[in-house]
Structure 1
Amino acid sequence: MTEGTQPEGPGADTPVRPGGATAVVVGGGLAGITAALALADAGVRVTLLEGRPRLGGLAFSFQRGGLTVDNGQHVYLRCCTAYRWFLDRIDAAALAPLQDRLDVPVLDAEGVPGRRLGRIGRTALPVPLHLARSLATYPHLSLAERARVGRAALALKRLDPADPALDAQDFGTWLARHGQSPRAVEALWDLVGVATLNAVAGDASLGLAAMVFKTGLLSDPGAADIGWARVPLGDLHDRLARKALESAGVRTEVRTRVTSLSRRADGRWSVQVPGESLDADAVVLAVPQREAHDLLPDGALDDPERLLRIGTAPILNIHVVYDRTVLRQPFFAAIGSPVQWVFDRTDASGLVDGQYLALSQSAAQDEIDQPVAALRERYLPELERLLPATRGAEVKDFFVTRERTATFAPTPGVGRLRPGARTKAPGLYLAGAWTATGWPATMESAVRSGVGAAGAALGALGRPRDHLLEVFEEAA
């Protein structure tokens, strides 16, 4: 039997005890939380184990003086149906609302007067006309470049992101073949792609890039409307998630690191943690790929070493607190500058006086290990170029957060390395944004993976999965 083709149905791969099915979820990020909720909602008795002192994985908050700081800025789009379901499920949708309509201010640090500010937005017209006005008036590209962007977008719309041949190609080469200038790549394609893929076009799988642009910009007029948390991420992914888990009957243990997994002679699983052994009918392993590799028992995957060949990519986050308001809008993107995206986090952080800006710098391989002093010297002048109001402002605080392995690297060929939810070990399932969801490493991918793993486990346990249909039809 090959991976991902286990039979389903009561008793097909995991014996169920008369007292009811039990499951252990290893990992308390979005994938693990989702899997635990989906299993518990079907009547499975679930224990969730997390090694950190909090839930939320890499989307979390911490305290710095009087500030509540997110480790990095996270956004989602209207097309992220699974993450939107997750927000509803933990009663948090009102705390992370969506824009009424896509609107992204784009500042050019090197633009001539009158052309520094452009906007990427949409109208209510059908696809692809919903972006036509924005593209026609986008000042950061020439008229000829805008026309070529339109033709490339139509060609992209014809691609099938699931085609394995696309996974082997890089997006940058495809863009060049379709007439995209370096300026167009910087001012438009990478503006979106770096933030969603965590890679520049030349380093990104064409399959993943096609998925991002087709789904976000070319599927539905409102698909790319942006949502973000108006409160600290910890309020969502830790506090409200714990409340939802508790209400669902999930036993949640933090500061509890799993040391090994083994399948017993009776077909059930034994999960070892310091000082305790937990038995379960099913286990969902929702941890990063390298940790999953170390915990997988022999024979669980045909080639477990492929997990180690899934690269990682860093994200650098720069935090600046000014003594006054320097930005009058919630966020903006930048071109012609090392600055990528800047968000106003003043209200969410609890700051009373001044303004707190968070810079999200994806694909930050060249800067992730630079000293804070060097980053300060580089980025404060860039903010002065972009935001004239900063020139007379006092910097009250400047600090950085670094996620060296923030996401899996979306390099060409990564698709064939990403495993599905099922393993060859009956009763053992994988979840995480790095698994084969078809999405890049986003909160959406993490939630989808948790739903997929739970759905596979419930099918094997003979438990209902109808409640997962509201997330996405493929979970059935």
Structure 2
Amino acid sequence: MGGEMKPVVIIGGGPAGIASAVHLARRGVETVLIERSARLSGRAASFLYAKMDEEIDYGQHVLMRCCTHSIDLLRLLGQGDSVSFQKSLRVPMRSETRTDEIASRPLPGALHLLPSLLTYRFLSFSERMNAVKAALSLLLRAPDDVSFDEWLRGQGQGKREIATLWEPISVATLNAHAGDASARAARVVFKRGFFKHHGADIGLFTRPLSHVFSSATSYLEGSGGTVLLEAPVSRIIVERGRAVGVETDNGDVIDAHAIISAVSSPNLVSILPPDVARDKYFSCLKGLNYAPIVNVHLWFDRSIMNEPFIIAVDSRIQAVFDVSATRRDTKRHHIVISQSAATDWIDAPINGIVDLSLAELGRLLPQARKAELIDSLVIKSRSATFVPSPGTDELRPEPTAPISDLFLAGDYTATGWPATIEGAVRSGINAVEALLSTTTR
């Protein structure tokens, strides 16, 4: 792919598009990466909150050590130190009356979690034994056509085991309640992450996300590529069954040797020619449902946490992160409550969300009862990620589209991973491999 050949055009500058562009650049392929925003980063973005003079993330993103492709990409971008990983898995679990943790122990394979499960204080002894049996079954098989909740009940799991163990992990990793996620999607998280020694070690970003991913601009331009910012794409140009270019909102046309779409499925459908969008390959994307995430940013006059994060049990909030501690910011005391699958929160009034959050923090964290709230900010994302509901695997497309020279990337594609940064990065690499395989036949 050299000489007078036109560039590969990549639409969308989030992790999927960045991964595609970087992977192509390493193969010596000329690329044009087009992003509608002022910086590369996509949904993994941040912005300056002037009132507190702090760059804050739109959403709270976490990596696990099994996210190997994301880790490799960050290293290539010179951002390997932007994520701080635990030395070994430790997930603090906290309710109003109890504290415990899901922690790794020096045992082989999935057995590394066995001591935690056998002593988990939120369950009785018999419930713990039931949970261990279900975990062993989850290692073997879980279908895509039943919900995780239904599968768990079939394994003898009661309300208590589901509510205090399986549900918190399902919501945090899949942005879906156990009753909405497929059993297979949950199995992916547990088998590749939690059931592997060090697979689920938690990594938290130590700097704002836009700073992390926008570093791809200098990498790509230094490799001979082009990055176009603030350039929304209005349509993909298709001629005689082949994708030949894109047109931006301001009327600029960019000819392409091939196109990789790395935008969300609804955005992709909106920029395709109508007759192309009606093809079954694209029309089935309308069957993907999306779930909201709400992030509640709170600034206090003092520190209220002793951990970088906690998972709440028997609470109306889910996960709490100490952003200031992770970023080693001694000037502020900034925490974030991340509420996934937040259907009940997305249309709730802001004041009500803040009041509920403060009340729950007071129940969970004794230090919060004495702290004074300085400021708050609620960020709602109505369609944050697709829901990996039963049967969804059949709707997730492979990267090669039925239109010649058009390839798809995005966490909704058939990566075998849930809607995460890792799923997005893998999708970008999959799209490139599919593209290169067609040019070498």
Name the TM-score, length of structure 2 as normaliser: 0.95
Match of 1:207 in 2: 184
**Structure 1 residues 188 and 266: alpha-carbon distance in aligned structure 2, compared to 1, 3 A threshold:** closer
Residue among 163, 170, 183 paired with 1:186: 163
**Structure 1 residues 267 and 178: alpha-carbon distance in aligned structure 2, compared to 1, 3 A threshold:** closer
Match of 2:355 in 1: 377
Instruction: Provide the rounded CA distance (Å) in 2 between the counterparts of 1:241 and 1:434.
Output: 22
Residue among 379, 389, 402 paired with 1:424: 402
Q: Is the 8 A contact 2:147 2:178 kept in 1?
A: yes
Give, as a single letter, the amino acid of the residue that structure 2 aligns with 1:446. A
CA RMSD of aligned residues (A): 1.8
Residue 421 of structure 2 corresponds to residue 443 of structure 1: yes
SS class of match (1:167): coil
**1:452 CA drift (Å):** 0.3
**1:255 CA drift (Å):** 0.9
Instruction: Provide the rounded CA distance (Å) in 2 between the counterparts of 1:17 and 1:83.
Output: 28
Q: Choose 258-267 or 360-369, whichever is displaced more.
A: 258-267
Match of 1:23 in 2: 8
Alignment deviations for residues 391-447 of structure 1 (CA, whole Å, 9 cap, x no partner): 121100111111111100111111111111001111100000011111110011000
Residue 375 of structure 2 corresponds to residue 388 of structure 1: no
Instruction: Provide the rounded CA distance (Å) in 1 between the counterparts of 2:240 and 2:186.
Output: 45
Residue 21 of structure 2 corresponds to residue 36 of structure 1: yes
Match of 2:261 in 1: 285
Instruction: Provide the rounded CA distance (Å) in 2 between the counterparts of 1:152 and 1:20.
Output: 55
Residue 34 of structure 2 corresponds to residue 49 of structure 1: yes
Instruction: Provide the rounded CA distance (Å) in 2 between the counterparts of 1:83 and 1:369.
Output: 33
Residue among 315, 320, 323 paired with 1:337: 315
Alignment deviations for residues 151-197 of structure 1 (CA, whole Å, 9 cap, x no partner): 001111111x6xxxx21111101101111111111111111111111
Give, as a single letter, the amino acid of the residue that structure 2 aligns with 1:385. R
Q: Is the 8 A contact 1:232 1:348 kept in 2?
A: no
Q: Is the 8 A contact 1:170 1:202 kept in 2?
A: yes
Match of 1:91 in 2: 78
Higher relative contact order (CA 8 A, sep 6+): 1
Residue 119 of structure 2 corresponds to residue 145 of structure 1: no
Alignment of 1:400-419 (within 5 A): 400-419=378-397
Q: Is the 8 A contact 2:281 2:402 kept in 1?
A: no
Give, as a single letter, the amino acid of the residue that structure 1 aligns with 2:232. R
**1:106 CA drift (Å):** 0.6
Residue 301 of structure 2 corresponds to residue 318 of structure 1: no
Q: Is the 8 A contact 2:281 2:397 kept in 1?
A: no
**Structure 1 residues 327 and 284: alpha-carbon distance in aligned structure 2, compared to 1, 3 A threshold:** same
Instruction: Provide the rounded CA distance (Å) in 1 between the counterparts of 2:272 and 2:103.
Output: 45
Alignment deviations for residues 29-66 of structure 1 (CA, whole Å, 9 cap, x no partner): 11001101111211111001111222211111111121
Give, as a single letter, the amino acid of the residue that structure 2 aligns with 1:333. I
Give, as a single letter, the amino acid of the residue that structure 2 aligns with 1:129. L
Instruction: Provide the rounded CA distance (Å) in 2 between the counterparts of 1:442 and 1:264.
Output: 34
Instruction: Provide the rounded CA distance (Å) in 2 between the counterparts of 1:302 and 1:143.
Output: 51
SS class of match (1:203): coil
Match of 2:337 in 1: 359
**1:353 CA drift (Å):** 3.4
Residue among 72, 83, 94 paired with 1:107: 94
Match of 2:209 in 1: 233
Name the TM-score, length of structure 1 as normaliser: 0.88
**Structure 1 residues 19 and 146: alpha-carbon distance in aligned structure 2, compared to 1, 3 A threshold:** same
**1:299 CA drift (Å):** 4.3
**Structure 1 residues 268 and 335: alpha-carbon distance in aligned structure 2, compared to 1, 3 A threshold:** closer
SS class of match (1:393): coil
Q: Choose 310-319 or 18-27, whichever is displaced more.
A: 18-27
Alignment deviations for residues 55-92 of structure 1 (CA, whole Å, 9 cap, x no partner): 21111111112111111110011111111111112111
Give, as a single letter, the amino acid of the residue that structure 2 aligns with 1:289. S
Q: Is the 8 A contact 1:198 1:362 kept in 2?
A: yes
Instruction: Provide the rounded CA distance (Å) in 2 between the counterparts of 1:352 and 1:154.
Output: 44
**Structure 1 residues 62 and 77: alpha-carbon distance in aligned structure 2, compared to 1, 3 A threshold:** same
**Structure 1 residues 350 and 100: alpha-carbon distance in aligned structure 2, compared to 1, 3 A threshold:** closer
Q: Is the 8 A contact 1:384 1:391 kept in 2?
A: yes
Question: Structure 1: which 5+ residue stretches go unaligned?
Answer: 1-15, 464-476
SS class of match (2:85): coil
Q: Is the 8 A contact 2:85 2:204 kept in 1?
A: yes
Q: Is the 8 A contact 1:84 1:93 kept in 2?
A: yes
Question: Structure 2: which 5+ residue stretches go unaligned?
Answer: none
Give the fraction of aligned pairs with identical amino acids, expressed as a percent.
Answer: 39
Instruction: Provide the rounded CA distance (Å) in 1 between the counterparts of 2:148 and 2:242.
Output: 45
Instruction: Provide the rounded CA distance (Å) in 2 between the counterparts of 1:364 and 1:306.
Output: 25
Matched residues, number: 436
SS class of match (2:109): coil
